[in-house]
Every structure is written in C-alpha cells, then in structure tokens.
Amino acid sequence: MNGGKELGEILYECSKQNNKVIDWWKQHKDDDIFITDDGNKLRQHLGAMMKQEALAMMQLGKIELLDALKHPDIFISEETYNAFKEAMKITEES
C-alpha cells in the first residue's frame, strides 16, 4: 500500500497532539470558557476532532489488515483479527 506507513506515522503524531488536547480538557473542563453557547460548541468541536482522528486511524488499520490478509506469508493471529473485527463493529455502530 503506497504511503500507508507514512500516513500511519502522521496519524500517530496527530494522536500525540490530540492527547495534549485531552489532557488540557481534563484539567479545564469546568472552566468558564465552556459555560457559554460558544464554549459548548468548542467542547463539541474538540470531541469531534478526537473522534475523527481516531476513526481515521481505525480505517487505516482496517485497510492495512485487509491488505495483509491477501499475503499468505504474513501471519496475523486470530486474536488480532478478532480484535480488529470487534473494533470495526463498534465504530460502525457509533
């Protein structure tokens, strides 16, 4: 898969930055900034930002897993396959 590894690395770096946002939010979730309607919208946008990054990582993982399954010389344990299958089921339900 062309560029998949590079995209995975970029998404990983994004997730590290998103973790900083999550840590900030945990420390400031009760701040006055979130009391107004605009503050509530900000909270929703922050949550959506995290969700979109996570969904992108999950989708890339699914693509990589399906690609790997095409190659008989690459071993994927049944446990890993089932974990991905369950994760994809959960993300499709939400």
At which residue do the structure tokens 């898969």 appear? 1
- Tokens, residue 20: 């900083």
Indicate whether 91 pLDDT > 90.
no
pTM: 0.65
Cite the DSSP H helix spans in the chain: 4-28, 37-69, 78-93
Each domain of the chain, given as residue ranges in start order, spans 4-93
Indicate whether 1 pLDDT > 70.
no
Q: What is the mean pLDDT of residues 64-74?
A: 77
